[in-house]
Chains A and B, each alone.
Chain A
Amino acid sequence: MAGLLTTAGPAITTLAQRSEKAEQELSAATKDAIPVTLHVNGQKHNLRIDPRTTLLDCLREHLHLTGSKKGCDHGQCGACTVHVNGRRMNSCLCLAAMYQGDEITTIEGVGQPGNLHPIQEAFVAHDAYQCGYCTCGQIMSAVALLSEPVGPEDAEVKEFMSGNICRCGAYQNIVEAIQSVRQSTNRQKAG
């Protein structure tokens, strides 16, 4: 891990995150709330949520897993990409209550600083981002892509990464990062 940079200033940490109890009281405030059980990153969560809650909003606002981002809320940018049973999906178009019993993986379950997934490491090494906002979605797509039937050429990777818009335009580095991991995986397989 490179750098001691803090993500939150001292004043932020004094403001407590919403407690589990406050969370439940809040959810109950909406009379239409329904009980929902979700399995996220290997953990089971029992929640009461509004049935309108998308998987994305549920992850962000109820489970505080904020690595999945909202960029368009209509399946048009890919920033919200998560894995459901190992397949990448746009969590903004999923109603959370329909995904009970499914294994949901978010970026937080892929790797954390100090224990990054090879794709995450490659994104850092190849500078495959700028602002970082679409990055978690890009990585969720890239990790899924490793086990999809995608040909070896850059052009194939570009096509299969086209559901993730990077407005900063770090596309060339994103492709380099993904290809570096695919090539080293292939080398390992061959070796």
Chain B
Amino acid sequence: MKIFELTRADDPRQAIAAAAKANTAQQGADIRFIAGGTNLVDYMKLNVETPRQLVDVNHLPFDKIEALPDGGLSIGAVVRNSDLAYHPIVRKNYAVLSEALLSGASPQLRNMATTAGNLLQRTRCMYFRDTAMPCNKREPGSGCAAITGVNRGLAILGTSEHCIASNPSDMNVALAALEATIHISGPKGERSVTIGDFHLLPGNTPNRETVLEPGDLITHVTLPPPSPGNRSLYLKLRDRASFEFALASAAVVITADGGKITRARVALGGVGTKPWRSMEAEGELTGQSATQAVFQKAAEAALRDAKPQSQNGFKVELAKRCLVHALKLVTQTA
């Protein structure tokens, strides 16, 4: 690990001012916010991240979960994953989020990891993690060793010829299905970005993963009010029974009326370069009966543009089964 200066922010303005001096807010940032540290410290140990300054944001007043007047929910940036997962409002109104969080990592890591940190979770691509290997995300222009190497766990949706790294977060998949909004405070003031716009596709610049600029500080995430009568569910498939990233996962939020789906929100995990909202699947579901055939059509639509690599072709079928089964389970309970 390279040496760094550890500083602590006691109010958001300090934090923003400190980080505004950074060269970038993306890969290679020389100034980084740190909260739970589960991802950043991991990558600093591997020299994938080498900040010269860390700004500890754990003491900023962003640790609350609050019901909003419109029936929605506000989630502070440094709320720990376990606190969020067990919050009574989350369990009642946003089960998919609670389930996604509890399917991720381990209890220890969930006690450390934060909302904002999880939004910014980096890929698990083994070549990104290994500084001896080429990686366009870590070192733009160096090449992608995953396309020609071991890519079983990597993305099949949203990839480019430069990067096929998958987004490993479970929380983000649930947030995508819940249409969350991310609130950012920065040197130029405050702004809000939808979860769909927050993460970027790799394209030609896989080193740019989000819309964040130097000094941008995520303050909280808001969820819209739950759609009345909805049921939601997160289903995660992997090799190991627990404590593993998804090979494929599905977050579904479904409202049905008399066996007919009136509203559907679908997002996939483990298969996309970003949390993968599938409006195509939602389109196939909305207005249709909750039947296996409809679910299958939705799954086909969601994976229509999949581009498998040498080792991860199975993810197309696996993701389809995952989505179909998630839809089956969520409509059974409806």
A and B, direct touch (CB closer than 8 Å): yes
CA distance A188 to B12 in the complex (A): 48
* A-facing residues in B278-329 (Cβ within 8 Å): none
Chain A to chain B contacts (Cβ below 8 Å), 8 pairs: A51-B4, A75-B109, A81-B108, A88-B107, A93-B37, A93-B42, A98-B37, A98-B58
Write the nearest CB–CB distance from A164 to chain B, whole angstroms.
8
Which residue on B lies nearest to A101, using beta carbons?
Answer: B59
Majority SS at the chain A contact face: mixed
Taking a contact as CB atoms under 8 Å apart, the answer to whether B42 and A78 are in contact is: no
Q: Please classify how large the interface on chain B is, using the bins under 10, 10 to 19, 20 to 34, 35 or more.
A: 20 to 34
State the B residues within 8 Å of A (CB): 1, 3-6, 34, 36-38, 41-42, 45, 54, 56, 58, 82, 86, 105-109, 111-112, 241-243
- A75-B108, A98-B34, A163-B105 given as contacts; is B3 within 8 A of A149 (CB)? no
Taking a contact as CB atoms under 8 Å apart, the answer to whether A52 and B109 are in contact is: no
Q: Please classify how large the interface on chain A is, using the bins under 10, 10 to 19, 20 to 34, 35 or more.
A: 20 to 34
CA distance A108 to B293 in the complex (A): 58
Query: Which 9 A-B residue pairs are closest in the complex by CB-CB distance?
Result: A163-B106, A162-B242, A87-B111, A51-B6, A162-B243, A93-B41, A52-B1, A90-B108, A88-B108
Q: For residue A51, which residues in chain B have a CB less than 8 angstroms away from its CB?
A: 3-6
Q: How many A-B residue pairs have CB under 8 A?
A: 78
CA distance A24 to B105 in the complex (A): 37
State the A residues within 8 Å of B (CB): 32, 34, 50-52, 54, 73-75, 78, 81, 84, 87-90, 93-95, 97-98, 141, 144-145, 148-149, 158-160, 162-164
Q: For residue A50, which residues in chain B have a CB less than 8 angstroms away from its CB?
A: 3
Q: For residue A164, which residues in chain B have a CB less than 8 angstroms away from its CB?
A: 106
- A78-B106, A141-B107 given as contacts; is B37 within 8 A of A94 (CB)? yes
Contact of B109 among A159, A160, A163 (CB under 8 A): A163
